[in-house]
Structure formats: C-alpha cells, structure tokens
Amino acid sequence: MKMNKAVNMRPRASAARPVRANHVKTAVNRSASLPSTDRLVCQAAAVAVEAPPAVVAANPKDLTQRHAAVSKYFPGVLGVDDFIQRVEIALCGYGFTGRNSIACSNLCRDEITAVLKDKIEHSFGGSFNTNGLGGVLTCGVTGIGAGLSHSPICADSGRERYVFFSFPHIAIDSTGTLANISRPGRPGTSCACGALIKCMGELKADGVEKSCKVPGVHDPLDPEYSILKQRLARRIRWEQQDVNSMDLADITKAAERMITDDLEYLIEKAVDTNKADYAVVTGVQIHNWSTNFDDEVPNLELVWPTKVYTVVNGKTTYLDLTKIPSLTPRQLQLLAQASMGSAAEPSASAGIVSSVSATSTITEIPHDYMAHRLGAADVKGASVLDGKPAYSETIKAGDAPAADPAKPKMDSIDLNDMTQAFRSFSAAFSNPSFVETFNGSNGKA
Ligand SMILES: [Zn+2]
C-alpha cells in the first residue's frame, strides 16, 4: 500500500463545519444496542457496534501500511519522535527552548500517555501538568497560573516563557482498529480513551441535548467525567454534528477542538503578554500498538498535530510542522534513546524498526522501555503466595485510625450547607443589582 499523498496539515480544517439550521436532532435512543457504560474501561463492543474498522493494515509489521491506516482517520499524523523534534526546531526558531521555558502538559490521566510525556519532558524539561480524564481541563485559571509562576525568567529581557502542550488520546491498533489497545501484563483487548468511549456511548444513548449542562453544574462524585461529558456535548451541539454518525475518531477530534479552545480561553485569562511569551502545541496522541503487546509486532506512538503557534511580544505566529524535514531513522533513534533512559538500553534497542514515508519517519517504541515505563516489566515477581519477607510483619502499624462517619463527604449535604444555600438563594433574589442584571440595566439606574 502506498502512502497517502494528500497530507495537508491545515490546522483545524475539520472544525469548520457548515452551519445548518435545525440540523440538531434529538438523538434516537439506541441504548438497547449499547452495552453498559457504567465502568470507565474498555467497551470494545460499543465501538464495534458503532464503528466497524474501515481501514485494516493487512501486514502489521509493515510500518508504512500502519501509518497509512492511521492517516485515513488523522491525515498528517507523525511519528512521536519525528513530531517532537520538529516542534523543538520550530519553537527554537521563536526563542523557546527547554532551557528557558516551562512546559505545561495537558494529557489524559491514562498511564499510556507517559510515552508522549517523556518525549515532551526530554525536550522541554519537567512539565507542570493539568491532566484530566479524556484531557478535559478542570484546573481552571488558578491551576494554569500556578504552572506559569514556576517559569524561569530571562536574564536579559526579564520575560517568562511558557510552552503549552495539550493532547487527548485514542488507540488505533496495529491492524487499524479504532479504540483497541493491548496493555502490558494484561491479557485481552483494552481500549483508549476510556473516558471518551464512555462519553460517546452515553451521548448516543441519551442524546446530546440532555447531556448539556449550565456551566458550574457537575456530579460531586464524578466531577471530572461529568465536566468532560457536558463540555463535549455542548461542543457537538454548537458544531451541529449528528452524534450518531460520529465514530471514536470523530469524537476524539471534537474533544481536541473543545479542549484546545478551553486551553486558549484559560491562557487568555492567566497569561500577561506584557511580561511573558508563550507557545501552544495541540493535537491528538495516537497509540498504534500491537494487538498483543508482548509479541514481536512493533508498538508505535503517533501524534496528529492541530495547532502550533507562538506569541512573542504579543504577536502570534502560526507554524507549519510539515515544512520541517524528518530526521533519518538513525538520527531519530539516537534522540529517542536519550529520552527513554536506561530502560531503552537493553539489546532490544539494537533491533528497533523504522520506516521512512513521504511525510514522516516512524520508529518503533522499544518494548522494554514501554513495559518498564508502564509498570509491567515483571508481573510474575513479588507474589505473596511465595511467602512474605520477615519484615512484612514487623512494619505493621497499630490500630487503624478511627473513622468518623459524620465527616463531610464529597457528595454529602448537611444542615449547615442547606442553611447557607438558602441564604445565598434568598440574597440573590432580594438583591436589586442581581434583578436589574436580568432586566438588562446591568445594575445601573
Ligand atoms: Zn484516556
């Protein structure tokens, strides 16, 4: 299979949907055909029902085929090492390096996002993270601002520099199947992103409209997930998309647009461009792993870039990563190895496979590094069945701390809360300035 030639990385082309009046339909209730989405884990069946794989890489050992299969969903996708070296070159051209900037990374909480995090941090240093389920931003202006206050300050200009990275993620396995991933040390098929898959199932079953909420309302036992779902629902409603025709790639792209816009809104509130320059790098992280993590089929990590820009002295410049050439496989492997530390050194790194296409150099992520990084390098060890070491008895603490059942819980409401709520409610409706806001006089006579 030849590489897809038509790779135009026009930022956010898919976001510009034509607006059609009355396009939003109440979604047909299809809950009967969907499995339970109670758990935030693989719902492989849900994906299979909605999105049979349209593209299959016939030979999973052929990296070019696999790149082409992912490119059908994400045109312009790059190997993660190729991506990060291009970003480093692009940002350096505008004054941002790992030595003079603070990186802020926003990824999903899933441990498999660690590979991209390692690449970011190898190039741009330890990052302040604002991670949330599905990559949703819930840290707010204070959270973003906290990261910025840790930035190095340029000795010459006195200015600070921030680099924001933001990427929701998706798995597309080595055969080209959406959502599927095989995790180290865990038999069977798992899925990613679990949070976005759960959102997709519930939005299709309940309809988008029902899932839209007034900002500020969330489930106290599930704050992050409920905010992710309502932000996504409002985005899909605003874009006038039919959720029932969206597959996981479409949902992930919509989530990326929503999260990127939220990030830019928070930056607007938190960053003072009189004293700081910043860069924004966004897209989708794609795990293109073997259907069996431990077999000899290479595991690949890819990135679909959507926006790369810098704001220097208040001036915004959009950058095009496709105009920066790939490094050779040898060059990329040298850089990649440095980002993986000793875990990539074993003999396995000598047999790393690579492929060079018209658009990107793709290199395998070494199995040893990933198994080590994801905490499944030796799942047979340390079994309690083999007998505990003697110290395990002597290190036991005394009695367990006493529990007070009356302590406020995250979803409990007590009398004081009710009294306070009632006072606030009464005050709001007896406050003339509040009422005048509704009258349109904005508190002025
Ligand atoms: Zn996730």
Span 99-113, mean pLDDT? 95
Which of 22-26, 234-238, 391-395 has the highest average model confidence (pLDDT)? 234-238
Predicted confidence (pLDDT) per residue in 60-94, tens digit: 899 999 999 999 999 999 999 999 999 999 999 99
User: What's the gap in Å between 289 CA and the centre of ligand 1?
Assistant: 15
Three-state secondary structure along the chain? CCCCCCCCCCCCHHHCCCCCCCCCCCCCCCHHHCCCCCCCCCCHHHHHHHCCCCCCCCCCCCHHHHHHHHHHHCCCCEEHHHHHHHHHHHHHCCCCCCCCCEEEEEECCCHHHHHHHHHHHHHHCCEEECCCHHHCCCCHHHHHHHHHCCCCECCCCCCEEEEEEEECEEEECCCCCECEECCCCCCCCEECCHHHHHHHHHHHHHCHHHHCCCCCCCCCCCHHHHHHHHHHHHHHHHCCCCHHHCCHHHHHHHHHHHHHHHHHHHHHHHCCCCCEEEEEEEEEEEEECCCCCCCCCCCEEEEEEEEEEEEECCEEEECCHHHCCCCCHHHHHHHHHHHHHHHHCCHHHHHCCEEECCCCEEECCCHHHHHHHCCCCCCCCCCHHHCCCCHHHHCCCCCCCCCCCCCCCCCCCCHHHHHHHHHHHHHHHHCHHHHHHHHCCCCCC
User: What's the gap in Å between 108 CA and the centre of ligand 1?
Assistant: 5
Task: State the pLDDT at residue 14.
Answer: 41
User: What's the gap in Å between 264 CA and the centre of ligand 1?
Assistant: 21
User: What's the gap in Å between 439 CA and the centre of ligand 1?
Assistant: 44
User: What's the gap in Å between 295 CA and the centre of ligand 1?
Assistant: 24
Count CB neighbours of 346 within 10 A: 13
User: What's the gap in Å between 394 CA and the centre of ligand 1?
Assistant: 40
Contact between residue 179 and residue 192 where contact means Cβ atoms under 8 Å apart: yes
Predicted confidence (pLDDT) per residue in 252-285, tens digit: 999 999 999 999 999 999 999 999 999 999 999 9
Q: Which amino acid is at 123?
A: S
User: What's the gap in Å between 434 CA and the centre of ligand 1?
Assistant: 41
User: What's the gap in Å between 8 CA and the centre of ligand 1?
Assistant: 27
User: What's the gap in Å between 42 CA and the centre of ligand 1?
Assistant: 11
User: What's the gap in Å between 134 CA and the centre of ligand 1?
Assistant: 5
The residue that leads in pLDDT, 181 or 36, is: 181
Span 167-192, mean pLDDT? 92
Write down the pTM of the prediction: 0.81
Task: State the pLDDT at residue 382.
Answer: 55
Task: State the pLDDT at residue 345.
Answer: 55
